[in-house]
Amino acid sequence: MEALIRSISSHSLNTTVNLEDILLSLVYDVVGKVAFGNSYRGKTFNGRTLKDIVEEARECYSDFDGFLQMVLDDHHDTKTSGHVNDFVDDCMSRLTTEEMKALVMNVLEGAVDTSTITMVWAMSELVKNPRVMQSCKTKFEDVLEENRK
């Protein structure tokens, strides 16, 4: 409260005060004190305060939501133009928009890191083992050759 009054009174007369910003800082202080015993006022992690981090996360979620909406809109738009049915098309008729967004998010979260890490691991194992690497290479070439026929 003292910080709030100090912040407001630091402005000279006839200047505009962003009350929402000041009250938001007050609420962060109070909630921090009540919930985890410390307002963490002025404390930073990686150069950002709790307020900065929460604001960034909100912006990030809002962009993520916009991205997911774009994916769904694209699928609504392409429905008539002879595009090949995919996972999203299959689920869209049965699920609400919110459920679809949660599902697409789940697939992204479940698929990206797991697949990337597995491939990085497999490739580093191959680098350490030239004999297996050669065997994989031969197998790949056979498959490519087969597909070319």
User: Which residues lie near ligand HEM (CB under 6 A)?
Assistant: 106-107, 110-111, 114-115, 118
Cα 5 from Cα 28, distance rounded (Å):
15
What is the DSSP-derived secondary structure letter of residue 80? T
User: Longest Cα pair distance anywhere in the chain, in angstroms?
Assistant: 82
Residue of this chain nearest to ligand HEM (CB atom): 110
- Which of 50/105 has CB closer to ligand HEM? 105
Q: Write down the least CB distance from residue 114 to ligand HEM, Å.
A: 3
- Which of 21/99 has CB closer to ligand HEM? 99
- Which of 107/143 has CB closer to ligand HEM? 107
Q: Write down the least CB distance from residue 45 to ligand HEM, Å.
A: 30
Contact between 24 and 65 under an 8 Å Cβ cutoff? The reply is no
DSSP lists the bridge partners of residue 45 as: 48
Q: Write down the least CB distance from residue 148 to ligand HEM, Å.
A: 27
Instruction: For residue 111, give Cα distances in angstroms to 32, 104, 114, 116, 118.
Output: 35, 10, 6, 8, 11
Q: Write down the least CB distance from residue 113 to ligand HEM, Å.
A: 9
Q: Write down the least CB distance from residue 90 to ligand HEM, Å.
A: 13
Instruction: State which amino acid sits at residue 16.
Output: T
**26: its two tokens:** 């007050």
- Which of 22/91 has CB closer to ligand HEM? 91
- Which of 39/92 has CB closer to ligand HEM? 92
**145: its two tokens:** 């050759």
